[in-house]
């Protein structure tokens, strides 16, 4: 399980980028809502410790027990929907253990990465077999549908992106992807027509429909719709970013014109924290965040190409696709080019389960990096 590694094999560049991002994040969370600063700091310390521990555990040993992780997380998802789920804002996504609140869908990200990596790498010669792909689809779609039933559309999409990215990079033929796209496009188009046409669709919640409709048709009203959290948060987020201009108004400022200070950016420490960065640190602050993320993802691309085996390559691709989607989705919704969802900004947004699982996943990537050896794929 634990192996001796040379310290020089540790990817200190990736860790350094993460530390810089985390320190930056703590300052922004403190400015967004100081009540969460201590919790976020404690969460970071615990998550970093877990990341370091995981980074020294042989990922091949972890892959041997992927069924246990997959089974436990699936049972947790069923339990949340049926027995011990804790509801909030119209969704049942959490369960509580004393003062601790956990979100099983966050742990499903790692479970699916391990599942797909193990099955695909062990059956590479069957990768383009319809039976094998059907097996992958059944095993991944079942827990994903449980997440969709919470409801949690944003995480549902994220999980699908992870699986698709891993299969694409594993070498599933373009023909199969082409057929899948030909099927998916009309299905998605029909779904969007249904959502726009039916006032109370049975497949999604009313607030989700409203956000999709507002995005497709555009919010034609000159006034912000205060009846929908997603609509007004997005509108005020764009205004906040615009008011920050080049250098911003400064962290922890007392500017009376600040939309954050006036309380117009609800839950600013979570989903819309990028708006706080834009308002208080300006274009320069936003570019720094984007640069850090770019360097972070580029390091992971390099690691995926240097992995010792195909298992390691797929693990890094799965984790990288997870972070890439979250970054694009969160920033995109904040600047109003993507519909509003509940996706957090990795390592910056406040959140215990999200931070814990993100750094645990990164620990797995670091272990792949310590055992790297150039391979051709």
71 CB neighbour count, 10 Å cutoff? 11
Question: Which pLDDT value is given to residue 9?
Answer: 74
Torsions phi, psi of 120, nearest 5? Answer: -70, -45
What is the enclosing helix (H) or strand (E) of 91?
Answer: strand 91-97
Q: Which residue has the tokens 């850090």?
A: 292
**Cα(310)–Cα(125) distance, integer angstroms:** 13
Question: Which pLDDT value is given to residue 231?
Answer: 64
Residues written for the chain: 377
Question: For 42-64, what is each residue's pLDDT tens digit?
Answer: 989 999 999 999 998 889 899 98
190 within a domain of the structure (yes/no): no
DSSP code of 2? B
C-alpha dist (Å) from residue 172 to 16, 274, 311: 35, 36, 16
177 within a domain of the structure (yes/no): no
Which residues are CB-contacts of 11 (< 8 A; sequence separation ≥ 6)?
299, 303, 366, 369, 370
362 within a domain of the structure (yes/no): yes
pTM for this structure?
0.87
DSSP code of 89? T
* Residue-range definition of the domain harbouring residue 25: 20-172+205-370
Sheet with 91-97, edge to edge strand ranges: 86-88, 91-97, 100-102
Over residues 111-126, the mean pLDDT reads 93
Question: For 318-372, what is each residue's pLDDT tens digit?
Answer: 999 999 999 999 999 898 888 887 788 999 998 777 888 899 999 999 999 887 6
Residue 375 has pLDDT above 50, yes or no: no
**Cα(112)–Cα(110) distance, integer angstroms:** 6
220: confidence class by pLDDT, cuts 50, 70, 90: very low
Burial 232-261 (b: 16+ CB within 10 A, else e): bbbbbbbbbbebbeeebbeeeeeeeebbbb
Q: What percent of the chain has pLDDT over 90?
A: 43
Question: Which pLDDT value is given to residue 270?
Answer: 86
9 within a domain of the structure (yes/no): no
**Cα(372)–Cα(25) distance, integer angstroms:** 30
181 within a domain of the structure (yes/no): no
Torsions phi, psi of 94, nearest 5? Answer: -125, 160
Rounded to a whole number of angstroms, the distance between the first and last alpha carbons of the chain is 27
How many degrees, rounded to 5, is the angle at CA 292 between CA 291 and CA 298?
A: 85
115 within a domain of the structure (yes/no): yes
Domain count, the chain: 1
DSSP code of 266? T
**Cα(256)–Cα(322) distance, integer angstroms:** 38
Contact 360, 110 (CB under 8 A): yes
Task: Sort residue 27 into left (φ over 0), alpha (ψ -120 to 50) or beta.
Answer: alpha
329 within a domain of the structure (yes/no): yes
Contact 160, 329 (CB under 8 A): no
88 within a domain of the structure (yes/no): yes
């Amino acid at each position: 399980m634990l192996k001796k590694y040379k310290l020089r094999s540790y990817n200190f560049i990736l860790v350094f980028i993460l530390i810089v991002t985390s320190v930056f994040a703590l300052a922004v969370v403190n400015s967004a809502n100081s009540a969460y600063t201590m919790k976020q700091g404690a969460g970071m310390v615990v998550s970093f410790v877990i990341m370091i521990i995981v980074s020294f555990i042989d990922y091949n040993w972890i892959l041997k027990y992927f069924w246990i992780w997959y089974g436990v997380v699936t049972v947790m998802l069923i339990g949340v929907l049926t027995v011990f789920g804790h509801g909030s804002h119209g969704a049942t996504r959490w369960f509580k253990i004393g003062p601790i609140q956990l979100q099983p869908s966050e742990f499903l990200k790692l479970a699916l990465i391990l599942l797909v990596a193990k099955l695909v790498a062990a059956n590479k010669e069957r990768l383009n077999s319809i039976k094998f792909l059907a097996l992958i689809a059944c095993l991944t779609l079942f827990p994903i549908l449980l997440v969709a039933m919470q409801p949690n559309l944003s995480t549902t999409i994220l999980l699908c992106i992870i699986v698709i990215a891993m299969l694409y990079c594993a070498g599933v033929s373009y023909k199969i992807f082409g057929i899948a796209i030909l099927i998916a496009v009309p299905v998605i188009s029909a779904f969007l027509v249904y959502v726009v046409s039916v006032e109370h669709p049975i497949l999604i919640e009313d607030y989700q429909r409203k956000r999709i409709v507002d995005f497709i048709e555009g919010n034609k009203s000159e006034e912000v719709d205060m009846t929908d959290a997603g609509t007004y948060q997005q509108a005020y987020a764009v205004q906040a970013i615009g008011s920050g201009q080049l250098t911003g108004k400064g962290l922890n400022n007392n500017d009376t014109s600040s939309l954050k200070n006036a309380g117009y950016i609800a839950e600013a420490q979570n989903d819309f924290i990028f708006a706080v960065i834009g308002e208080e640190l300006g274009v320069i602050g936003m570019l720094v965040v984007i640069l850090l993320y770019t360097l972070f993802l580029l390091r992971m691309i390099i690691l995926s190409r240097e992995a010792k085996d195909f298992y390691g390559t797929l693990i890094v691709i799965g984790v990288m696709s997870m972070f890439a989607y979250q970054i694009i989705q969160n920033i995109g919704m904040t600047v109003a080019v993507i519909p509003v969802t509940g996706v957090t900004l990795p390592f910056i947004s406040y959140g215990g389960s999200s931070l814990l699982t993100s750094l645990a996943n990164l620990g797995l990537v670091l272990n792949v990096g310590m055992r790297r050896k150039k391979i051709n794929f």
